[in-house]
Amino acid sequence: MKQKPSFPAKVDGLSLKKAQLAKGSTQFRSSNKVSALDSFATLASGAGLDSTKVRESMVQKLADQGVQDEMLLKAFSTIERHKFIDTALANQAYEDTSLPIGFGQTISKPNVIARMIELLRQGKNLMITGKLSRVLEIGTGCGYQAAILGQVLKEVYSIERIQGLYEKAKQNLRPMRLPNIHLILGDGMLGFAQGAPYAGIISAAGGENIPDAWLDQLAVGGRLVAPVANDKGSQVLVVIDKMENSYKRSYLEPVNFVPLRSGLA
C-alpha cells in the first residue's frame, strides 16, 4: 500500500524536577485531606483540568516499580493520559490499569507501556541515554503510546488498521503538534516498508507468530518488542534482536494484549 503518512507533531514539555523522580518525593497535601486522584476525579468533566499532581504520582509509581529510564519517566510526566480516553473514565486515567477506547480495543497499562519502551531503548544499537532513530509502532490505538514514543524517539511511524481509531488518534495528537510522529492507516501485520529499516519495532497486539514483514523491516542491530502467544495459548512478551545472520529471542513475563489481526476495519 503506497500511502504517505498523515500529519503530525512538539509538545510543550513539562519539566520534571529530579526531586520528583526521587523515591518518596511525590507527596501531596490537602487541607481537606482529599487525595490528588480524588480531586482530579471531581474535575473530570472537560479537557481543561489540571492533572499535574496525579500524573506525577503515576510517574513516581513507575519509578518505584523499577522504571529507570529518566527520559521515559519525563515523557510520562509530560503526556496527559486523560486526554486520550473518554471523559467518563478520566478519574481512572492515571491508575495502572488498561481502559477501553472503543472498537473493542484498550489503552494499555502505564506500567506495561513503560516496560516495553524501556526494553526497546535497551537494544544493542539503541542508547538508553539518547533518542533512538526511526521506530515502527504496530497498533496506534488512541495515540497515547505514540505520544510517549514521540518524546523518546527521533521518528515514529505508527500504523492502525481500524479507521475509527486512526481518526481518533489523529484528533488526540493534533493539538500536541508532534512533528516526529507519522500516522498510517493500514494493515499492521504488513508493517510499513516505506519507512524501513527500523531501529526498533513495538507492537500493541499479539499473534501466534511474529510476522515476517516485521523482521524483514527491522534493521540489523535493531530490536523488536511484542506480545506473542506461547504453547499454552496465553501471551508472553518477546524481545527479538536482529543480528547480521540470525535473531536472538528472549521470552519474558506473561502479558495480555488484544489479538493481532490483518486487514482494515
Tens digits of residue pLDDT in 148-161: 999 999 999 999 99
Interval 215-227 mean pLDDT: 95
What's the pLDDT score for residue 230? 87
> Which is it for strands 218-229 and 198-203: parallel, antiparallel or unpaired?
parallel
What's the pLDDT score for residue 47? 44
**51 among known catalytic residues:** no
DSSP 8-state class, residue 128: T
Global pTM reads 0.81
Indicate which residue of 51, 108, 158, 203 is catalytic: 108
What's the pLDDT score for residue 72? 97
Residue 192 has pLDDT above 70, yes or no: yes
Interval 239-253 mean pLDDT: 95
What's the pLDDT score for residue 146? 98
Interval 249-263 mean pLDDT: 95
Lowest mean pLDDT among 8-22, 46-60, 76-90, 237-251: 8-22
What's the pLDDT score for residue 131? 57
Q: Which residues contact 32 (CB under 8 A, 6 or more apart)?
A: none
Residue 176 has pLDDT above 80, yes or no: yes
pLDDT band at 49 (very low <50, low <70, confident <90, very high): low
Give me the torsion for CA of 129, 193, 187, 135, rounded to 10°.
Answer: 0
> Residue 231 carries which side chain, given as an amino acid letter?
D
Residue 19 has pLDDT above 70, yes or no: no
HSE on the CB side for 119, CA within 13 Å?
24
Q: Which residues contact 54 (CB under 8 A, 6 or more apart)?
A: 36, 37, 40, 93, 94
Residue limits of CATH 3.40.50.150 in the chain:
102-259
CATH of 102-259, one of 3.30.70.2190, 3.30.420.40, 1.10.10.10, 3.40.50.150: 3.40.50.150
Residue 80 has pLDDT above 90, yes or no: yes
Residue 1 has pLDDT above 60, yes or no: no
Interval 173-192 mean pLDDT: 97
DSSP 8-state class, residue 94: T
Neighbours of 58 (CB within 10 A): 24
What's the pLDDT score for residue 231? 82
What's the pLDDT score for residue 22? 41
Interval 23-43 mean pLDDT: 41
Residue 23 has pLDDT above 70, yes or no: no
Q: Which residues contact 236 (CB under 8 A, 6 or more apart)?
A: 227, 228, 230, 251, 252, 253, 254, 255
Q: Which residues pair with 159 in a beta bridge?
A: 138, 184
Residue 30 has pLDDT above 60, yes or no: no
What's the pLDDT score for residue 11? 40
DSSP 8-state class, residue 122: T
Using CB atoms within 10 Å of the CB of residue 104, give its burial: 0 to 12 exposed, 13 to 18 middle, 19+ buried: exposed
Q: Which residues pair with 157 in a beta bridge?
A: 136, 182
The three-point CA angle 91-165-200 to 5° equals 95
